[in-house]
Structure 1
Amino acid sequence: YPNAGLLKLPSNKKVDTSEQDILRAQLLEETLDSFGISAKVANVTHGPAVTRFELDLASGINVKRINNVADNIALNMSAENGIRIEAPIPGTTFVGIEIPNKTITTVTFREVLFSEEMKKEEDPLSIALGKDITGKPIICNLAQMPHLLIAGATGSGKSVCINSIINSIVFRCSPEDCRLILIDPKMVELQRYNVLPHLLIPVVTEPHKASGALSWALAEMTDRYNKFKDNHVDKITTYNNNLPEGAEKLPRIVVVIDELADLMISSSRKEIEHDINRIAALARAAGIHLVVATQRPSVDVITGVIKANLLSRIAFLTSSGTDSRTIIDRYGAENLVGNGDMLYMPSGYKNPLRVQGCFLQNDEINNIIAFIKKNNRTFFDQSAMDVIEESEASSEDLKNDDNNIKVDPLLEDAIDMVLSDGQASISMLQRRMSIGYARAGRIIDAMTKMGIISKADGSKPREVLISRSEYENSKL
């Protein structure tokens, strides 16, 4: 395992902001009073990126009046990116007004990763996220999420957050605990992680291979559930705690997609979107988790179905309130200050947490990678690589025959399988052939057009309409 010595220590320099906070509180009260809003600042919390002023409103003052003058408050308080209003602050009767600090205090990766809060976390998939407005380290458990959507404008801190997630796993998990699939269509951020022993396959950069990797993960999910069924368990932790004789421990699998938008404009969009949704909806108990990031939080990238299945979300600074709503179903991210300032919405929470994300410098990442390269070796899963390569080849080589039926390299194997079983279904092909939903669907369509199996009849398996000898004769 890498150690704390590879990471930079936090600065011990403490800046006394009490006098500045008092002056800003007075200015805020005067600004509100100029609009006929009577309120007193009951408490001030100076966080890493913003200061929260907790307002005690006079009786009869409507909170909506503060929202109506938010732009004027921002102007008077010299809040270039605007202010954020939290009404009320959870657990209180106060209204919170968050105003950016003139200087952002860096939250180092080390101080969160080795905090007392992290030491209490037993799950190896606990992630060092950052610090909240009170300075408390925020730890998120990827196993409980169980999937995460990250979005924000370019330069807002999204890539640094992904690095924090990957390196939290590297520090806390052995390759036996967790394997990684990294998908980086931009070919910029994740290439340096190719030396990690945690990698299941080399970093994926091509959309067709990304589609193949997701299809493999979906097939692996199905295979794991079959193992659970055979051993009368319902989730990965129970299975690993009661391993059948001769069986190997199943590692958790984390799939990181650094730029979803690049995949959603590729020819493999349909397959990718389907597989993401299936994994997000079903893979939690199988120990397969998604971290999906994009700098284009538009509805054509973060579709309604994808968002519905990725319930834990992080919004960094966005270019508009519309983008903020696309990510976390509310305005607010457009008024963040950038540089790691985020709104973190864990699954099940009604209101987001404002967090200053950990900052992990490039030289720290390089130190970690150099240490790992010196002390470990990569061991990719050859069977997974073979399935993905085969999937990529089939997507490029599919061609039309004289009857305009797409010929898949696996079509003959699929025909042989259904002739032997006497029935056919998409899920059966997915499970038995380790392929994705879209590809299995195309093979089923081809066999239907060829008259080998019946047309769909609700959720029932397709009937096989011809015998093996009839099929062999038809080929002559």
Structure 2
Amino acid sequence: MAKKDLNTSGKTSGLDANRKKEIMGIIVISIAVLLGLSILSYNPEDYQYARSISFLDLFNPDANSRLVQNWLGPVGAYISHYLVHSLFGYTSIILALIVGYHGWHIFRRRDIRELGWLTVLSVWGMILLSTFIGWLNAHASFPDDSIWSGTAGVAIAQVLYNITNIGSIIILSVLMLITLLMFVDRDLQKTIDNMKLWMENLQEKLDERRAARQLRKEEKAKEREERIAQKRAEQEKKKEEQAAQKKQKQEEKELQKKEIAEAESEEEPVKPAPSIDEIVEKSEEQDREKREQEKAEAGTLDTRQRATLEKEEEIDEDEDDIEVSVYVGKGEEQADEKDLDKMNKKKAKEVPVIKYKFPKVDLLDPPPAEGNEVDLEEIKENKRIILDKLKRHKIEIVGINAIVGPTVTLYELEPAPDVKISKIESYSNDLKMATASKGLRMLSPIPGKSAVGIEVPNSTRETVYIKEVINTKKFVETDMTLPVAFGKTIENEVFMIDLTKMPHLLIAGATGSGKSVGINTIITCLLYKCHPDNLKFVMVDPKKIELSLYRNIQNHFLAMLPDSDEPIITDTTKAQETLESLCKEMDDRYDLLKMAMVRDIKSYNEKFKTGELDEELGHRHLPYIVVIIDELADLMMTAGKQIEEPIARLAQLARAIGIHLVVATQRPSVNVITGTIKANFPARIAYQVASKVDSRTILDQGGADQLIGMGDMLFNNGTGMVRIQNAFVSTEEVEKINTFIGQQAGYKEPFHLPIIKDDTGDIPDPLEDIDEYFEAAAKLVVIHQQGSVSLLQRKLKIGYNRAGRIIDQLFNAGIVGPYQGSTARDVLVQDEDELQELLDNLDEYEG
């Protein structure tokens, strides 16, 4: 019972304290209102009347107090005299506003210490404005009236004028401008950038309205012309109908005259004249024959024009009856030039943390106007070679289709029912030699089709530009979270996939095959669709030059350790620290998701946005983090297990909390792409590699060794293999995009990853409990000059864990060097005498 009373009294005291704050806030607001009324109703004559009023006059209705015109009476006259006349004129109203704002904060039970900077800046602005007006009154031929500046404002202006003469107005103007900018935002650079963005947006809106008006005018003019043309056509049609009726009547009269003449003359009978319907029918038949003849002649003039993007053309040959159907994909529908910019503007308004402007499509280089034509002669020749080679080996083909892509042409062969697919596959090298192609890849069979595929490189390959991919409706209107458009498939379709669905990507390929361009393509696609508040990059670049251009966007899109000097990680030690920090960030995020009772980052951010999660409990908006590692082989060589473990842990667990890995290497060997890493990267990209072994390492099957380089790649996400021509993005385009983003006002600092606490202080010194085999192990290591665990296991016949602890003790004693991955540790002691001296010193230390 006592406990209940205590709780009740605690709640009551809390309510009383809140009620006191509300009452105090109302009182302060009232004082501010009265103060403002006294200043606004200031009259210079009121002060004289107020001074002549005695205490008894306050109770006399006919006293001088009735002459005071101030809305607060004699009290208001005194207050307004000192504030308006003696101090800072009508600008003293700022004091009333400051007091009122403080009262509102007290009423709302907010901390008034937050208003310290605003209060100081407001008082400074009041004094500065009063001085500026006082200078104008004194030296700019303004009316000599200090009601706006006050006596203090005029005095300060006069002192400043005596010191700097005419330069005083320049000083005051600069101070006024700086104060105004600081009122908007204390970051002057950010304020100026925001003003530039506002002016650019205003100019764009004006241009859009001007373009819309021009478009409406053109549409109205076009409608007017169409109406006029329609009226003219109707009039001409009426005239033609009238002329036809007249002609028909004349012909009928002539026919009647002929019939009468023939009946009168009894000559031998002749055939009756054809009717009008027969004449019209005959003329239509002649016109039809003429049109068909013209089509046939036009078709023989240019066979290349007949292979359009939407039609199939049959090529017949005399030597056999098999026909090849040529199909060229029509490609994705291109979006309007401003569609992506409009959607990005809407998206930028939805996330008002910073004023951010998405990069424009105009920053990308336009593809050349002329497109690559389909070489039907090449297709015809390849078809003849393939059929001839297979026919020599008694392999019967029933039908063949050719699908022309930007890099290769896929020939779909339909074999006879009694032909084995393995027999066709065994002649792949013969076909490669016969076609004299750089790389011929065979699909036996094509997934989802009852046909065998042969991919033959085109003699003239087509370059897929990044603008062709980004400026499509498929990319512009996508609702994917992290969309990545790699390039175009053989069917000329844009291949796009969501990085959150992969959820991690492994890239491998030989030097110069297009890996770096592929990574730039991934980053460019994400920059065009993601706001800085929702996406951060962690970039690891041991080569130090591939990702250096992205340092310009560090305050917008990059995440890094707080103590890191460079936004792009190039050092192996920093890379290891960063990956371990990402593991810590992953664990922290899972704790937040657990508290919020949600299963993924998307649900968590939606819940945080609606205000269901309390920031005081540590909840925050979680951006997606994309980790880009440009060369894994270098990290694995220098750090080995220490790098592999955090990568494998992130790959296993980080999908739900929005951390995704994009790992690239030019050496796809089992030492680099280990089984642990490989098992957690279902999505893989293979560019051209040197051997089938490398292809199997990255894709679990061959094919990558038959690619032809320069962005030609195979994508496998566990459901099937897709051949894609990677979109090309140049270094100049990347530089323009980064410059555009870097010039904007971003966050004050990059996104900071958590620091891993050093727990070495809690670990006991290994030398406190020295193993009994310590001295024997030290002598073995010095004799063999090899500091390895396996040596101690063999010679001392002990287990791995014990041998590992002894090696750690030898390291702490200074006998062996630090850990070096798979390589044995260096031995720091040269002979047994030096070792004995070191052991004696160690015994003295322990004693």
TM superposition score normalised by structure 1: 0.80
- Look up the SS of the partner of 1:375 in the other structure: coil
| Amino acid of the structure 2 residue aligned with 1:387 | I
Contact preservation (8 Å) 2:559, 2:752: no
Q: Tell me, yes or no, if the aligned pair for 1:200 and 1:380 is still in contact at 8 Å.
A: no
- Whole-angstrom distance in 1 between the partners of 2:744 and 2:515: 29
More deviation, 137-146/40-49: 40-49
Q: How does 1:130-145 map to 2 (within 5 A)?
A: 130-145=487-502
Larger Cα-atom Rg: 2
Residues 357-387 of structure 1: per-residue CA shift (max 9 Å, x gap): 1110111111112212222446544742x72
Q: Could you give the per-residue CA deviations for residues 398-421 of structure 1, whole angstroms, max 9, x where no partner exists?
A: 99874499xxxxxxxxxxxxxxxx
Q: 1:333 to 1:400 in 2, by over 3 A?
A: farther
Alpha-carbon spacing, 1:113–1:403, altered in 2? closer, same or farther (3 Å): farther
Residues 18-97 of structure 1 aligned to structure 2 (within 5 Å): 18-81=376-439, 83-97=440-454
1:209 paired to 2:574? yes
Instruction: Identify which of 727, 730, 747 aligns with 1:361.
Output: 730
Matches within 5 A, 1:395-410: 402-403=767-768
User: Which deviates the most, 240-249 or 197-206?
Assistant: 240-249
Q: Secondary structure at the match of 2:446?
A: coil
Q: Distance in 2 between matches of 1:378 and 1:189?
A: 25
**Runs (4+) off by over 6 Å:** 398-401
In structure 2, do the counterparts of structure 1 residues 333 and 380 end up closer, same or farther at CA, with 3 Å as the change threshold?
Answer: farther
Cα deviation 1:318-346 (Å, max 9, x = unaligned): 10000000001000000001010111002
Question: What amino acid sits opposite 2:685 in the alignment?
Answer: I
* Partner residue in 1 for 2:361: 4
Q: What's the counterpart of residue 797 of structure 2?
A: none
Write the distance in 1 (CA, Å) between the matches of 2:712 and 2:748. Answer: 36
Deviation at 1:80, TM superposition (A): 2.2
Residues of 2 paired with 1:37 and 1:400: CA distance? 76
Does the alignment pair 1:257 with 2:616? no
Aligned-pair distance for 1:117? 1.8
- C-alpha distance in 2 between matches for 1:336 and 1:152: 10
For the residue of structure 2 that corresponds to 1:242, the secondary structure is helix
The worse-fitting range, judged by mean Cα deviation, of 374-383 and 46-55 is 374-383
Aligned with residue 199 of structure 1, among 558, 567, 579:
558
**Distance in 2 between residues matched to 1:95 and 1:5, nearest whole Å:** 43
- AA at the equivalent of 1:217: L
| RCO higher in structure (CA 8 A, sep ≥6) | 1
Q: Which residue of 1 is the match for residue 466 of structure 2?
A: 109
Please name the residue that 1:434 is paired with.
Answer: none
Alpha-carbon deviations, 1:234-276, whole Å to 9, x = none?
110110111114343210000010000000011x322210111
Mark the runs of 5 or more structure 2 residues left unpaired by the alignment.
Answer: 1-357, 561-566, 771-804, 813-847
The CA distance in 2 between the partners of 1:176 and 1:245, in whole Å, is 19
* AA at the equivalent of 1:98: E
Structure 1 CA distance for aligned equivalents of residues 748 and 431 of structure 2: 57
Which residue number corresponds to residue 129 of structure 1?
A: 486
Amino acid of the residue matched to residue 460 of structure 2? Answer: T
Of stretches 105-114 and 297-306 in structure 1, the one that deviates more from structure 2 is 105-114
Q: Which whole-Å CA distance do the structure 2 matches of 1:325 and 1:281 have between them? A: 22
Map 1:126-275 to 2 at 5 A: 126-196=483-553, 197-201=556-560, 202-243=567-608, 244-246=613-615, 247-266=619-638, 268-275=639-646
Measured after TM superposition, the shift of residue 119 of structure 1 is 2.6
Residues in 2 aligned to 1:170 and 1:205: alpha-carbon distance in whole angstroms:
22
Identify which of 283, 287, 311 aligns with 2:682.
311
- 1:336 aligns to 2:707 (yes or no): yes
Q: Measure the CA separation in 1 of the matches of 2:752 and 2:518.
A: 31
Q: CA deviation at 1:23?
A: 2.3
- Give the RMSD, CA atoms, in angstroms: 2.4
Q: CA deviation at 1:231?
A: 1.0
CA distance in 2 between counterparts of 1:354 and 1:255 reads 25
**Alpha-carbon distance between aligned partners in 2 of 1:84 and 1:399, rounded to the nearest angstrom:** 60
Q: Distance in 2 between matches of 1:60 and 1:376?
A: 70
Residues 189-224 of structure 1, C-alpha deviation per residue, up to 9 Å, x if partnerless? 011111112001211001111111111111111111
- Could you tell me how far apart the structure 1 residues matched to 2:464 and 2:747 are? 31
Q: Distance in 1 between matches of 2:745 and 2:490?
A: 38
Q: Distance in 2 between matches of 1:322 and 1:252?
A: 35
2: CA distance between counterparts of 1:319 and 1:379? 46
Instruction: Assess if the C-alpha contact under 8 Å between 2:407 and 2:458 holds in 1.
Output: yes
Q: Using the alignment, how far apart are the partners of 2:379 and 2:664 within structure 1?
A: 36
Secondary structure of the 1:354 match is strand
Counterpart secondary structure, 2:500 = coil
Farther off after superposition, 335-344 or 244-253: 244-253
C-alpha contact (below 8 Å) 1:41/1:53 kept by paired residues:
no
Q: Is the 8 A contact 1:199 1:378 kept in 2?
A: no
| Distance in 2 (alpha carbons) for counterparts of 1:272 and 1:362 | 30
Aligned partners of 2:424, 2:501: CA distance in 1, in Å? 37
The CA distance in 2 between the partners of 1:401 and 1:245, in whole Å, is: 45
The question of whether the paired residues in 1 share the 8 Å contact of 2:557 and 2:750 is answered with no
C-alpha separation in 1, matches of 2:443 and 2:728:
26
The structure carrying a bigger helix percent of its residues is: 2
AA partner of residue 689 (structure 2): T
Unaligned stretches of 5+ residues in structure 1 = 406-441, 450-476
Asked if the contact 2:535/2:557 (under 8 Å) is kept, the reply is yes
Q: How many Å apart are 1:188 and its aligned residue? A: 1.7
**Do structure 1's residue 16 and structure 2's residue 385 form an aligned pair?**
no
Q: Secondary structure at the match of 1:96?
A: strand
Confirm or deny: 8 A CA contact 2:508 2:698 kept in the other structure.
Answer: yes
Relative to structure 2, which stretch is displaced further, 15-24 or 254-263?
Answer: 15-24
Partners of 2:363 and 2:569 lie apart in 1 by: 27
The one-letter amino acid paired with 1:222 is: D
* Partner of residue 387, structure 1: 755
**8 Å Cα contact 1:199/1:380 also seen in 2:** no
CA distance in 2, matches of 1:399, 1:21: 75
Q: Retained in 2: the 8 A contact 1:109–1:358?
A: yes
How do 1:366-445 and structure 2 match up within 5 A? 366-377=735-746, 379-381=748-750, 383-384=752-753, 387=755, 402-403=767-768
**CA distance in 1: counterparts of 2:576 and 2:405, whole angstroms:** 42
Letter in 2 for 1:261: A
Contact 1:152 1:297 in 2 (8 A): yes
The change in CA–CA distance for 1:264 and 1:399 in structure 2 (over 3 A counts) is farther
Shift of 1:124: 3.6
CA–CA distance in structure 2, aligned partners of residues 177 and 323 of structure 1: 36
Q: Normalised by the size of structure 2, how large is the TM-score?
A: 0.45
Deviation at 1:138, TM superposition (A): 0.3
Distance verdict in 2 for CA 1:127–1:85, change over 3 Å: same
Query: Contact between 1:124 and 1:169, CA under 8 Å: does it hold in 2?
Result: no
Does the Cα contact within 8 Å between 1:256 and 1:291 map onto a contact in 2?
yes
Identity of aligned residues (%): 39
The aligned counterpart of 1:298 is 669
